[in-house]
Structure 1
Amino acid sequence: MVRTMIGVDSTGAGCLKITKNDADDPRTTPDSQRSKFLYNSKYLNMEVADVTVCNTFGGSGIHVTPAGASRSNFETLEFGGSGESIWIYDKSFFPKLRYNVPLFDWKQRKGNGSIRYNQNMVGWEDKGKYRSGRGGSYFTGNRDQGSWLINASEYSGGTSWSSDFCTAVQIDQNDDIDAFNPFSTRYRRLVVWDLPGDNTPIADAPNLAPNGTKTIRIANNAMKIAKPGYNVDTATYAQLAFDSTRLPVKVIRAADIALPSGQSFYECGFPITDNVALDVHFYTGSTIMYPNNPVDLKFGAEYWFDGTRIYFDATQAMRARFMLYLEDNSAPTSGTYNVLRQFNDGTQDVVQFLRPGASNPPSWADIIIDTRWPQVQILAEGYFNVTSGNGNVVDIAFDGTGMFPMVKYMTYHGGGSNFNTNSSWQNRVRMPFLDILKYGYQGQSHTGNSTYCELTANNARFRTFRGNVGDYYEDDNFEWQTDGADPPLGIRYYILGIPV
């Protein structure tokens, strides 16, 4: 049975704490014993700033929002063509986002109108310059997802536009899958986290020593808790630890399961709606790998939601380690519920903290905290520069005692351009991907683009390959050639965890 405390803990700090075991007093249990807390307002906040689906084709021409906006002062910009569109989302499209360059995920459905998500798969692409397929690399589908662009504008010779900070993607109604387009899609889903994706520090105010200030305010229409040492009535957004109008990220299911080759499923026990996102690590062996194992073959699993189940279709026997997030940012319902609700769901006693004035029963979007769904904790976070070297290692130690850890990270890159999204940029941030040469070059098996992380209970080991070639191939003249890479200059990482 869980225990809830709203008040002053043994350190003198006003806070909200929920322990997962009745034997652990939330007032006296040390904050360092993270595995004992389902929620602790003294921890760093982790919230989703926005979720948007990119699957609309506006027809030929240039379309901007809001109405009357220019191509240098827009929220969204669409370049429409025959059956395809380039979508550009300016940072201003995400009003809750506090950072110019955020942590983000583009998740895509497989081509031909499938409901299967396949950005975690490893594939090979024929770039049309290889003799008999002799060249290229095996890469994670994350490679073909949108980047976050800094000081962006049109591709050289393309249609003019500009944005200080944005993300750009292409969608295609004729999204047939073949060797030249292994990750073509008509449906992309963007999850923007209210966390930095570059070397910007997290904007939350630091906890101060308790100083007697009022840190808790509870009413029938609101509940707020300031971080230790700040006055709740004057606290800024960054100084608030809990606010009943904000939704922290909640994990509604998490597991590490064995997948057989082919199709299998995981039973969640409740209908899975479209307001969820799955973060998953597919790996083999005893060490968790992200974004996947370094393999030179097609590897991974597609996943999709149907009814109460998460389905998987794996290329071989492997493991899937996942967190299923609830990320409903829809408007609150209207009713008379106070912010605190207690009930028994038939199997356990439940405590919920709700948005003010929620309906009866509350919607998913009304639920701020639910003792069945643990708070996602940031066990470690930071940024490091990537140095040149074939297989350089950076170790990040963290305390994962009693926790279920996963890793998220972004890679920071220099300037470049992309014809497919009519874009060029001064810098960009990308989702991580493996990039393994089909034919090794002078002791190099990874391209310079490749990165991955080996995750254990108390350590995250990042491997990078800056300085390696970007491609090695035989051309139609029977000559072997190399291309340059777009290596990461830095990595922004988060080690996340929930209590086991």
Structure 2
Amino acid sequence: MVRTMIGVDSTGAGCVKIMKSDADSPRTTPDSQRSKFLYNSKYALNASIAHIERVNTIPGGSGTQYFPAGSNSSNYQKLVAYGDAGGFNEAIWVLKNSAFPDLKYNMPLFDVKATRNSTGRFNQMKIQRRYSGKYYNDQGGYLFMGNWRQAPWFKDYEGLVSNWGSFLYGTVTRINNSDTNDAYNRFQSSDKRLIVWNLPGNEDPSLEAPVLAPNGSKNIIIRSDKMIIAKPGYNAETATEWQISFDSRRVPVKVIAAADIAIPAGESFYDTGITLPTNIALDVHFYTGSTIYYPWTPDMEDGAGAEYWFSGSRIYFNAASALRARFMLYLDAGDSPTNGSNKVFRQFTEGGVDVVQFLRPGSANPPSWADIVIDSRWPCVQIIKEGYFPVSAGSPVETVVTFDATGMFPMVKYMTKHGPGSDQNFGSWQASIKLPSVRQLIYSTSSNFECGDSSHCRLTQTSATFVTNRGRPGDYYNDDDDPGTWRTEGADDVLGIRYYILGIPA
């Protein structure tokens, strides 16, 4: 069987540990050897997804619909406003923090996975060129990736129309149901996934309580209705949610597939070996050569990148040219659990593999995806390092974060912080956080082509190098109304970066 420990380890701390190899002792293996643990409740920071919201057309929708039913412009949690802006069938979704009952942070780490209308494939990591009638002979514009078109998470938001109202924290996104030509659609898709993590996405500190020295407190509770493991030094009977490492009601992020693979030009696939559920999200770093970039290399080309989609047990890719994909496929278990008589601990053998599962209490037999808290086949995401740093003016400015990912499979996630802003379609706000995005000017007066709102990261086993361009323009072009006159436009500068180095045993 998979070596599993529920009890007190050699340091005197009550904990749950699942080992990657049966050769390693869960009781005596040092916690610092992260690559040896599929799960270790003693790690201070926990990664969990608060919710995955599917943003698409609500059948029969018209006007403004408020949710929950019976709410209005002053007390809604989510609204969908339908319209016909610019001759397109569009809908605006407004989601306040209260739309996510499990969300614990005002400005959370989040992601948007957008699909292409004509194919239904995820394409937000693709590259497009911005053309405009204001450019003389196309002398101007920029290359950009889909992340750049996704709306921020706002602080102190004021909507443009009264039925939207205002709110302290939340996000807005637009979907477009008519345009199936991606050259014009520009990532405004009719079907997106909004993934909201229970981790801060700005400079706010984590709410997780620090690990204390073992002090004789009762760390472990196992009974028919619950299983709780408090962090070392806290009493499981009285611990708050931030003092708990393992709780059968609090599901950590599990990775059901991970790899770093070569992708040829055209269509290819990676077989995960299991039939994939619908409640999944793929984080992927597309890159070329030997350097891992996220969210994209600054050496951009129109049409570069790859689309991806899921079918059966496979992740399919369609790439414009040969590249590599480094990815983790997450399972979100935020759905309602089943009902039955399963206990919290389950052992079985499937396909010749010994499996240990921790379940939500009272689940059905067999359990659903939502019932599985931990499964020894799927390592839980570890936060190897996290932090926030302000960004100084300059282009390029490199900020290096070091860490030790020996024996691990690391990936990076980060958000960019921005100041006050406004949008003619959305409204105004006092601060925001955005998805990281690379945007590159076609024409420039210097050798550096990245815009002021552009950033990227170079990832290795020991460091993450963040490159920013605060103070650079957002566009530089030959004005079609006055040829020979070159004009610049500003950019929403990156003011800070909140980062997470995530990892699982390699």
How high is the TM-score relative to the length of structure 2? 0.96
Alpha-carbon contact 1:261-1:313 (below 8 Å) kept:
yes
Aligned to 1:456: 460
Query: Once superposed, what is the RMSD of the aligned Cα atoms?
Result: 1.4
Assess, with a 3 A threshold, how the Cα gap between structure 1 residues 169 and 442 changes in structure 2: closer, same or farther: same
Measure, in 2, the Cα distance between the counterparts of 1:419 and 1:216: 54
Matched, 1:194 2:195: no
Measure, in 1, the Cα distance between the counterparts of 2:2 and 2:469: 46
Aligned to 2:396: 391
Measure, in 2, the Cα distance between the counterparts of 1:108 and 1:178: 12
Measure, in 2, the Cα distance between the counterparts of 1:59 and 1:469: 40
Residue 138 (structure 1) shift: 0.8
- Which consecutive segments of 4 or more residues in structure 1 shift more than 4 A? 157-160
Matched, 1:206 2:207: no
Indicate the larger mover: 84-93 or 435-444. Answer: 435-444
Measure, in 1, the Cα distance between the counterparts of 2:404 and 2:284: 21
Matched, 1:373 2:375: no
Residue 159 (structure 1) shift: 6.2
Aligned to 1:252: 256
Measure, in 1, the Cα distance between the counterparts of 2:162 and 2:294: 36
Alignment gaps of 5+ in structure 1: none
Superposed CA deviations along residues 262-284 of structure 1, whole A, max 9, x for unmatched, are 11110111212211110000001
Measure, in 2, the Cα distance between the counterparts of 1:64 and 1:418: 22
Measure, in 2, the Cα distance between the counterparts of 1:235 and 1:436: 49
Measure, in 1, the Cα distance between the counterparts of 2:199 and 2:376: 24
Residue 158 (structure 1) shift: 7.8
Measure, in 2, the Cα distance between the counterparts of 1:128 and 1:2: 63
Assess, with a 3 A threshold, how the Cα gap between structure 1 residues 210 and 178 changes in structure 2: closer, same or farther: closer
Aligned to 1:70: 72
One-letter identity of the residue aligned with 2:370:
A
Residue 40 (structure 1) shift: 0.2
Q: Secondary structure at the match of 1:356?
A: coil
Residue 293 (structure 1) shift: 1.0
One-letter identity of the residue aligned with 2:437:
F
Aligned to 2:33: 33
Q: Secondary structure at the match of 1:468?
A: coil
Measure, in 1, the Cα distance between the counterparts of 2:501 and 2:140: 35
Residue 290 (structure 1) shift: 0.1
Assess, with a 3 A threshold, how the Cα gap between structure 1 residues 212 and 294 changes in structure 2: closer, same or farther: same
1:382 alignment partner, one of 387, 406, 428: 387
Alpha-carbon contact 2:73-2:163 (below 8 Å) kept:
no
One-letter identity of the residue aligned with 1:54:
V
One-letter identity of the residue aligned with 1:248:
P
Aligned to 1:241: 245
One-letter identity of the residue aligned with 2:48:
E
Q: Secondary structure at the match of 1:35?
A: helix
2:108 alignment partner, one of 102, 108, 114: 102
Q: Secondary structure at the match of 2:210?
A: coil
Alpha-carbon contact 2:396-2:448 (below 8 Å) kept:
no
Assess, with a 3 A threshold, how the Cα gap between structure 1 residues 160 and 396 changes in structure 2: closer, same or farther: same
Matched, 1:295 2:307: no
One-letter identity of the residue aligned with 2:77:
E
Q: Secondary structure at the match of 2:443?
A: strand
Assess, with a 3 A threshold, how the Cα gap between structure 1 residues 337 and 178 changes in structure 2: closer, same or farther: closer
Alpha-carbon contact 1:59-1:81 (below 8 Å) kept:
no
Alpha-carbon contact 2:132-2:138 (below 8 Å) kept:
no
One-letter identity of the residue aligned with 1:261:
A
Measure, in 2, the Cα distance between the counterparts of 1:26 and 1:442: 56
Aligned to 1:10: 10
Q: Secondary structure at the match of 2:137?
A: helix
Question: Residues 347-496 of structure 1 correspond to what in structure 2 (within 5 A)?
Answer: 347-420=352-425, 422-476=426-480, 477-478=482-483, 479-496=485-502
Aligned to 1:111: 117
Q: Secondary structure at the match of 1:92?
A: helix
Aligned to 1:49: 50
Alpha-carbon contact 1:6-1:17 (below 8 Å) kept:
yes
Measure, in 1, the Cα distance between the counterparts of 2:440 and 2:5: 51
Question: Residues 189-338 of structure 1 correspond to what in structure 2 (within 5 A)?
Answer: 189-298=193-302, 299-338=304-343
Measure, in 1, the Cα distance between the counterparts of 2:322 and 2:115: 22
Q: Secondary structure at the match of 2:242?
A: helix
One-letter identity of the residue aligned with 1:255:
A
Q: Secondary structure at the match of 2:453?
A: coil
Residue 180 (structure 1) shift: 4.1
Measure, in 1, the Cα distance between the counterparts of 2:121 and 2:378: 26
Matched, 1:24 2:24: yes
How high is the TM-score relative to the length of structure 1? 0.97
Assess, with a 3 A threshold, how the Cα gap between structure 1 residues 179 and 390 changes in structure 2: closer, same or farther: same
Assess, with a 3 A threshold, how the Cα gap between structure 1 residues 2 and 160 changes in structure 2: closer, same or farther: closer
Residue 423 (structure 1) shift: 2.2
Measure, in 1, the Cα distance between the counterparts of 2:374 and 2:342: 15
One-letter identity of the residue aligned with 2:240:
T
Aligned to 1:79: 81
Aligned to 1:346: 351
Residue 442 (structure 1) shift: 2.9
Residue 160 (structure 1) shift: 5.4
Residue 354 (structure 1) shift: 0.6
One-letter identity of the residue aligned with 2:175:
I
Alpha-carbon contact 1:72-1:163 (below 8 Å) kept:
no
Measure, in 2, the Cα distance between the counterparts of 1:444 and 1:176: 34
Residue 330 (structure 1) shift: 1.1
Alignment gaps of 5+ in structure 2: none
One-letter identity of the residue aligned with 1:104:
F
Measure, in 2, the Cα distance between the counterparts of 1:111 and 1:78: 19
Measure, in 2, the Cα distance between the counterparts of 1:273 and 1:346: 19
Residue 296 (structure 1) shift: 3.2
Measure, in 1, the Cα distance between the counterparts of 2:297 and 2:443: 18
